[in-house]
Amino acid sequence: MKYERIRNFINGNFKPVSSARTLIITSPTDGTPLAEMPCSSAADLDEAVNAAKAAFPAWSKMPIKERVQVFFRYKYLLEKNLQELAELVSEENGKTIGEAIAEVEKCIELTEFATSLPQLITGEVLEVSKGVECRTSHVPLGIVAAIVPFNFPAMVPNWTIPNAIALGNCMIIKPSEKVPLSLTIIARLLKEAGLPNGVFNIVNGDSEIVNAICDHPDIEAVSFVGSTKVAKIVYRRATQNLKRCLALGGAKNHLLVLPDARPDMTAANVAASMSGCAGQRCMAASAMIGVGAVDHIVEKICAEAKKIIPGQNLGAVISRESKERIERYITEAENAGAKILVDGRGITVIGKENGTYVGPTVIDYVTPDMAIAREEVFGPVISILRTDTLDEALIIENASPYGNAASVFTENGGLARYVADNASAGMIGVNVGVPVPREPFSFGGWNESKFGVGDITGKSSIEFWTKLKKSTTKWNPEAGVNWMS
Hey, which residues are catalytic here? 282
Evaluated on CA atoms 203, 208, 214, 216, the torsion sign reads negative
CA 390 – CA 395 distance, rounded (Å): 9
In Å, what is the CA distance from 376 to each residue of 49, 245, 324, 413?
35, 23, 14, 30
Helix segments in 193-319, DSSP class H: 207-215, 228-240, 263-275, 295-305
Short-list 256, 452, 280, 461, CA closest to 358: 280
CA 75 – CA 64 distance, rounded (Å): 17
DSSP class per residue in 402-443: --SEEEEE-S-HHHHHHHHHH---SEEEES-SS-PPPTTSPP
CA 257 – CA 189 distance, rounded (Å): 44
Which strand (E) or helix (H) includes residue 372?
Answer: helix 371-374
Do the beta carbons of residue 31 and residue 355 sit within 8 Å? yes
Coil, strand or helix at 334: helix
User: Which distant-in-sequence residues (6+ apart) come within 8 Å of 296 by Cβ?
Assistant: 263
Q: Tell how strand 361-364 and strand 339-342 pair up.
A: antiparallel
Query: What does DSSP assign to residue 278?
Result: G
Q: Tell how strand 427-430 and strand 405-409 pair up.
A: parallel
| Angle of CA points 250, 211, 180, to nearest 5° | 65
Q: Tell how strand 33-38 and strand 22-26 pair up.
A: antiparallel
The phi and psi torsions of 16 (rounded to 5 degrees) equal -65, 150
In Å, what is the CA distance from 286 to each residue of 211, 409, 416, 463?
31, 15, 20, 32
Do the beta carbons of residue 31 and residue 354 sit within 8 Å? yes
CA 427 – CA 416 distance, rounded (Å): 14
Coil, strand or helix at 298: helix
CA 49 – CA 60 distance, rounded (Å): 15
Coil, strand or helix at 5: coil
The Cβ-side half-sphere exposure at 35, using a 13 Å CA radius, reads 19
